Amino acid sequence: MTDTAPLGQFEQLVLTAILTLEDNAYGVTIHMRIEELAAPRKIKLGAVYATLDRLEDKRLIASWLSEPTKERGGRSRRHYRLEKDGEAALRDSARTARRIYETVAARWGGLAWKLIPQS
């Protein structure tokens, strides 16, 4: 990986949104998916774009512009995809989350998901 620092929670959310949206990953859809994942937390669109820029600087994601469309008034749309380093960083974060869950589950008798507050 280019940057060995662990991902922050919001970076994990952005990468997860891009992963699940595949070819439909652009600013607004990424924002909507993050709000689904982080509910009831409200997310500012500007925070999404700042994080997208940071992840692109870290070379964890790449972006490209679509062809201009009439529906967008002749403007292009910027799409995002995970790079291999982004996939690796997300996998590392998932492994860490699994270890945390397993530790909590062992401490709480295997009922961790039922004991963790939902909101």
Annotated domain spans of the chain: 9-115
Rounded Cα distance, 51 and 54, in Å: 5
Topology of domain 9-115 in CATH is Arc Repressor Mutant, subunit A (1.10.10)
Coil, helix or strand at residue 26: strand
pLDDT over 60 at 1, yes or no = no
Strands (E), the chain: 61-65, 78-82
pTM listed for this prediction: 0.84
What is the pLDDT of the chain when averaged over all its residues?
89
Give pLDDT tens digits for 20-65: 999 999 999 999 999 999 988 999 999 999 999 999 999 999 999 9
Rounded Cα distance, 115 and 108, in Å: 8
